[in-house]
Structure 1
Amino acid sequence: MSENVDTEQFNADELQAPEWLNSEFITEVLSKYENVPELKVTDLQISPASAQGDHYASVMFRAKAEYTTPKGKFSKPLIIKTMPELEGHKKDMLSESYVFTTEIGAYCTALPEFERILREAGDKTKLYVPCLYHSMEPRQVMIFEDLVPLGYSVIRGRPVTEEELKKVFAKLAKWHAVSMKVLNERPNFLADFKYGIFEMPTIKTDPFVTTGMARFIEMLDQKPEFRKYKPHFEKVKDVYLDRLADEMQEYRKNRSSDGYYVLCHGDFHLRNMMFKENKQTGAPEDVMLVDFQFCNICPITVDLTYSIYMLMEPEQRRDMGKEMIHHYFTVLVETLKKIGYKAEMPTEARLWEQIHRNRYYHFFMISTLLPMMLALKSNALKMNDLIQDPETRKKSYLLENYLKDVELLLPKYEELGHFKDL
């Protein structure tokens, strides 16, 4: 591990690389990838790959490999992603899940085909970083070339700009459009993508998920201005997770004739995207989506609703992201036409109907994920504590930035009819 690492900045399980992650292993990986049997790694520097709060469902390291081949000396920056090996909540949550199988399928099967379809239509959009190596046995590992030396970075410590958001939603729209075409013409091609967050073995027993609504109702009761909304959430507190699961699994269990379905990213938040600026102008040039562990076929609204709470700034969230989702929809339709989509074109009105219809997803976001996201964004609390410690979670519901958001969102829910016929 590299020296001078700020241990407070990184996740504890990423401070020390496992013994198997060594020069011999990386030599084997690179020699196979480059098809050079004589390749030999001469130096390997390893450090944590991401900051606290960037992710939870994996362990990631950044590596710089110096190596030789018959053609000379070379260097390659790498990102190594693996499953947790330390005993604890993260390992318990992920050990029996399908997150690695899903992500390998996204990188090695789905996204290469999506790019091929775009290329045939004259669109050179890059949807993913190529995977240099992957394995499920004897351990679950994926290795990629590091995007940071190519000029990409994660946004931290400042709000995401409108132009950056437009880049994000345009890329998501192209991904969704191609997946709609594939689902319409070759649905079996994506049949393995059936494991979203609600297929996680521990999801409905994890206290972070199961206590969210109770904490939210408790907060509503403490704030006089919010008490009038408390009865609505009390009506659904015992059933809303089941209703939410029904919404998330709609494609597989109860497909709607007027619903739009796509291969969703499944975890569409700011720390799962890396941005590149134009060196001359400083304007956003590209965004690369990463972390496809929860990709699955589900309502198109899963990524869009998630983005309202986990990606957008409060000013966009105030009107449910209307401007950004309109931009997304424009690119979606343009791309569908470009790639020769043969089914009926989606309409923006029906898209919004679907976003509002899936109200239990909104309830989950405001009661469980939004307080966590805003606590992390303000650097008030740490992710591991928020997920694992009840008292820390309780604090997140009383943070000023969260209460301001709730104050804006609850009247909007009322206006949209989210509380009718509960």
Structure 2
Amino acid sequence: MSSNNDSCNSDELEAPQWLSAQFFTEVLDGYLKEPGLKVHKIKLSPASAKGDHYASVMFRAAVEYTTQKIGKSTISLIIKTMPEQEGHKKQLLDNSHIFKTEIAMYTEILPKFEAILREVGDETTFCVPCIYHSLQPRQVMIFEDLVTKGYVVIRNRSASIEELKSGLEKLAKWHAVSHKLLLDQPELFEKLQYDITTLPNFLEQDFMFTSLPNFIDMLGNVESLKPYQKYFESMRGKLNNRWIDIIREFRENRQQNGYYVLCHGDFHLRNMMFKGLDCMLLDFQMSYVGSMANDIIYAIYMLFGSDKLGEQSNELIYHYFKTFLETLENIGFVGKIPSLIEFRRQLFDKRYNDFFLLTTFLPAIIYMRNGEDVADIVEDTQQMSQLCYQKDLLKELEYILPRMLHLGYFEHL
């Protein structure tokens, strides 16, 4: 299997033995349903670059095959499976819900969303279809390769405003359909009872306890950021629980005025592929029912970047919410129509989500954004502490923290 070792995740450098001609014959038989199908050659390679993802292992397979009807042909497939190498990633993800969640998303939930939009003349497609899935004897999903259809992952640059609007439009339509279905057909979401906080052992990971202290120490060592140290000091011992409460709100403490939707759960740039301004969404392993504010807060820190914050973030959020309301109207929503003012209030009320993302996730996301694999350092306490001193992170904090102060985020913590 050919690859550049420096640009690929280490656990994707060697494909497992079960990715054989016999396996791909089974996959293509079920997908193409062509008599006499025979696989002749398979070329396997890593399907992603360092920093693209963490909660899975992905391979690309170029498969040459023949059938009685069409003769010789080739197809490029993406295989998504669980880690088999012993280590932190396998320990964290073994016995988790993530593949069951994603299979339900691809085979039941998102096709239902798209069908509802088709009924009102909206041809939105959220994702590439899953052509094969299995939980036994191993967890695996297979898709046709979007790269061969002209889609690319944006790397080594920020997304443009137009690209971000395209991605947020998809999310807004997804949120709108799910908002209606949560009232009309709540049983549709019964399989989605999990989220990132329910991953086995996730809440016990070292970084969950060290990230905030590391962040506070960094604030004390960077002269321009010292004034903000006292605010984060006041969060010791309560930040994680406040964040968990926000993520689990729909299941455990539903609010009468809450705007609840099916959240993507990991809505960032590497989980989108673009063909011009057409956007396909990826990776639904962390999808869950929660406040619509959660996906947008996540996008602010993981998707926008410092160059899209400020007035441009306001424009993007407005565009998202306008599309959300338009879609609700198009699909015949008859409940109480959400308002932008109330949505903005809910974004503010969930500011502990901002604080958690800022201190715990953003340093790792920036590290991955720069082409590194966080799996390589997640068990290295010293290296993890240094993530808070990344130049790109400090640049974003120079904007984010004053903005939080001016908006009242640090009052009554």
TM-score range, shorter chain: over 0.9
Deviation beyond 3 Å, 4+ runs, structure 1: none
Report the residue type matching 2:175 in the other structure.
H
Secondary structure at the residue paired with 1:42? strand
Secondary structure at the residue paired with 1:78? strand
| 8 Å Cα contact 2:212/2:359 also seen in 1 | yes
Of 382, 385, 394, the match for 1:391: 382
Supply the distance in 2 between the matched residues of 1:416 and 1:257 (Cα, whole angstroms). Answer: 25
Report the residue type matching 1:378 in the other structure.
N
Aligned to 1:314: 306
Aligned to 2:328: 336
Deviation at 1:321, TM superposition (A): 1.9
Supply the distance in 2 between the matched residues of 1:319 and 1:360 (Cα, whole angstroms). Answer: 22
| 8 Å Cα contact 1:14/1:59 also seen in 2 | yes
Aligned to 2:396: 405
Instruction: Give a deviation string over 1:63-103, Cα, whole Å, max 9, x none.
Output: 11111111112211100000000000000000021000000
Report the residue type matching 1:7 in the other structure.
N
Of 369, 375, 386, the match for 2:367: 375
Supply the distance in 2 between the matched residues of 1:36 and 1:194 (Cα, whole angstroms). Answer: 38
Supply the distance in 2 between the matched residues of 1:194 and 1:387 (Cα, whole angstroms). Answer: 27
Secondary structure at the residue paired with 1:329? helix
Structure 1 unpaired stretches of 5+: 278-283
Report the residue type matching 2:387 in the other structure.
S
Aligned to 1:67: 65
Secondary structure at the residue paired with 1:30? helix
Instruction: Give a deviation string over 1:151-188, Cα, whole Å, max 9, x none.
Output: 00000111111110110111110111110111111111
Secondary structure at the residue paired with 1:47? strand
Aligned to 2:55: 57
Instruction: Give a deviation string over 1:253-297, Cα, whole Å, max 9, x none.
Output: 1111111010011000110100002xxxxxx2x010001000110
Aligned to 1:291: 283
Report the residue type matching 2:355 in the other structure.
F
Alignment of 1:121-270 (within 5 A): 121-270=120-269
Query: Which 10-residue stretch deviates more, 233-242 or 129-138?
Result: 233-242
Report the residue type matching 1:180 in the other structure.
H
| 8 Å Cα contact 1:82/1:142 also seen in 2 | yes
Secondary structure at the residue paired with 1:152? coil
Secondary structure at the residue paired with 2:202? coil
In structure 2, do the counterparts of structure 1 residues 378 and 16 end up closer, same or farther at CA, with 3 Å as the change threshold?
A: closer
Report the residue type matching 2:110 in the other structure.
L
Supply the distance in 1 between the matched residues of 2:56 and 2:368 (Cα, whole angstroms). Answer: 18
Structure 2 unpaired stretches of 5+: none
Supply the distance in 1 between the matched residues of 2:291 and 2:81 (Cα, whole angstroms). Answer: 29
Supply the distance in 2 between the matched residues of 1:226 and 1:74 (Cα, whole angstroms). Answer: 59
| 8 Å Cα contact 1:220/1:226 also seen in 2 | yes
Instruction: Give a deviation string over 1:216-239, Cα, whole Å, max 9, x none.
Output: 001011123322222221222211
Instruction: Give a deviation string over 1:92-127, Cα, whole Å, max 9, x none.
Output: 000021000000000000000000000001000111
Report the residue type matching 1:208 in the other structure.
F
Supply the distance in 2 between the matched residues of 1:23 and 1:96 (Cα, whole angstroms). Answer: 28
Report the residue type matching 1:377 in the other structure.
R
| 8 Å Cα contact 1:160/1:313 also seen in 2 | no
Do structure 1's residue 44 and structure 2's residue 42 form an aligned pair?
A: yes
Over the matched positions of the two proteins, sequence identity in percent amounts to 46
Alignment of 1:70-81 (within 5 A): 70-71=68-69, 72-81=71-80
| 8 Å Cα contact 1:31/1:38 also seen in 2 | no
Secondary structure at the residue paired with 2:39? strand
Supply the distance in 2 between the matched residues of 1:214 and 1:366 (Cα, whole angstroms). Answer: 13
Do structure 1's residue 356 and structure 2's residue 348 form an aligned pair?
A: yes
Supply the distance in 1 between the matched residues of 2:26 and 2:369 (Cα, whole angstroms). Answer: 39
In structure 2, do the counterparts of structure 1 residues 328 and 306 end up closer, same or farther at CA, with 3 Å as the change threshold?
A: same
| 8 Å Cα contact 2:363/2:388 also seen in 1 | yes
Deviation at 1:209, TM superposition (A): 2.5
Secondary structure at the residue paired with 2:250? helix
| 8 Å Cα contact 2:305/2:396 also seen in 1 | no
Secondary structure at the residue paired with 2:141? strand
Secondary structure at the residue paired with 1:63? strand
Supply the distance in 1 between the matched residues of 2:197 and 2:179 (Cα, whole angstroms). Answer: 22
Deviation at 1:57, TM superposition (A): 0.2
Deviation at 1:345, TM superposition (A): 0.9
Supply the distance in 1 between the matched residues of 2:319 and 2:177 (Cα, whole angstroms). Answer: 17
Structure with more contact order per residue of length (Cα contacts < 8 Å, sep ≥ 6): 2
Instruction: Give a deviation string over 1:290-313, Cα, whole Å, max 9, x none.
Output: 010001101101110000011103
Aligned to 1:281: none
Query: Which 10-residue stretch deviates more, 393-402 or 139-148?
Result: 393-402
Secondary structure at the residue paired with 1:331? helix
| 8 Å Cα contact 1:23/1:44 also seen in 2 | yes
| 8 Å Cα contact 2:89/2:375 also seen in 1 | no
Supply the distance in 1 between the matched residues of 2:373 and 2:85 (Cα, whole angstroms). Answer: 19
Deviation at 1:37, TM superposition (A): 5.0
| 8 Å Cα contact 2:36/2:67 also seen in 1 | yes
Aligned to 1:280: none
Of 10, 17, 21, the match for 2:8: 10
Query: Which 10-residue stretch deviates more, 313-322 or 10-19?
Result: 313-322
| 8 Å Cα contact 2:12/2:59 also seen in 1 | yes
Paired residues in the alignment total: 412
Aligned to 2:112: 113
Report the residue type matching 2:385 in the other structure.
K
Instruction: Give the alignment's TM-score, normalised by structure 1.
Output: 0.95
Supply the distance in 1 between the matched residues of 2:56 and 2:369 (Cα, whole angstroms). Answer: 20
